[in-house]
Chain A
Amino acid sequence: MGKVSLYAPIAYLVLLLSSLALFSTIYRRRKVRRLVGLKPWFDEHASRDIYLSLKAQTSPKVPEKMLKAALLRRATENVRRIMSLQESKPALAELHQRGAVGDELWTRFLAAEKVMDAEIMECAGEANTIKPGWAQTLFPSAAEIVHNSRIRERLAQVPELQKEEREKWQIVRETALSELENENGASVDTEVKKASKKKK
């Protein structure tokens, strides 16, 4: 009887701990598998791939400024992604809380945030390796690149928009003039007023 009373608690403990350990490994492995299977939030990170590829190239060696430009492009894409995450977070959190979007989407979003944090850290580290202290201004510069490229996109539309407005006005004017010709007699001034009233 004495033997049993000595081994029973030890056996119990071993059994308990090993089952806990087994559960935790299986649980964690499943969780990892589930996360790995998730579709990433963003598409491929082209500028990061390009930067890493340029950095890996040894012969012929890529000029220093090309590498810097590539890192700045990478930071620019990161800023764009961070902005888009920040913009969508409040709405998405609200929808998730109300149950309007599934857990999977929310998990994907949280994973994307973590990935972006790591990506920013790595990017800053690269900048400081190239030039100590550059990480301080790298992201402000990248943010301006994002803003300026939006501005340029809008300004690039100006000639096309002007063409549209010119054509629209041309049609309106021609119809107004032909109406004027049809209704002879009344003074031009009031006719113009009438024509403009019709259009609104």
Chain B
Amino acid sequence: MYGNDFAAVDAPDGGLLGQVEAAEAALRAAAARGRGGAVAAGADPESYFADVINADQKIEPRDWMPEAYRRTLIRQIAQHAHSEIVGMQPEGNWISRAPSLKRKAILLAKVQDEAGHGLYLYAAAETLGVSRDELVDLLLSGRQKYSSIFNYPTLTWADVGVVGWLVDGAAIVNQVPLCRCSYGPYARAMIRVCKEESFHQRQGYEILHTLAHGTPAQKAMAQDAVDRWWYPSLAMFGPPDGDSTHSAQSMAWKIKRFSNDELRQRFVDMCVQQAETLGLTLPDPGLRWNPERQAYDFTQPDYDELMRVISGDGPCNRQRMAHRRRAHAEGAWVREAAAAYAAKRARHEERVAA
């Protein structure tokens, strides 16, 4: 039903899904090594933590961890969870108008997956001693961020395709290394998310492929969407390495495995051939193969724009937050009713038991 008959996006190294499965195998292998007692269970928690990280094993919720490690993880996992939840909006925008019933079903399932992924990630964050209510509060009050890409509007149906191809594609390039993150609950959540997301990128690519091989109006719609989303997608990898504030420590803790620029380059190299197959043009006159680097040279996104969008002045920041706040506020009476009902039942059962 989800277009498994269409397999044009596989990377040469067995595909991103293969990398996710490799990460899962590595996780199991590291767990198996641990049984032999490779990590000394000493009295000093700091060196124990360092040993676990060095041995490529996983830190688990009740282990001692440096406070900064905990804070970094909470911030990153929460931001990731918020991104899934807010990210439902730009694509959800087209569910009601999807141009065929098949596309409607696929898109609905995809946006639903994002809600599910948000929930997996909030659950992973909660293992660090913070509650989901607190995190939602931090989002709604603007003290925590979500991926700035979702502050761009989905203006046409082709945007749904491009969000799947480029935005989900960039997200996957970012997320696949997180399957090897040193924090167990986050790594396991990411493995699950990445496995489920493998259909998201393909459905986006399939939409674009159909449009690009459709009527002239459809093809123009597809090209226009690629033109608008290309640079914001490149900006998803964050500021260039020189300006990135959190990177070095996160790399040392094995929360992060590759730098922003490494991942951005990997993404560009993947997209060029995929765009050619679509017959669409990436809007970068400077894009060309560099045989010395064995990689594509490309024009960097406008990082000033990225900073403006992050700080709240993107096209849709206010709209996205207002939508989220409204859903939360309008649901309050329902959540209260469910809690009141549960309390009544509990009292009733106590009485019956007494």
| Co-assembled chains A and B | no
Chain A positions near chain B (C-beta within 8 angstroms): none
Interface residues, chain B, CB within 8 Å of chain A? none
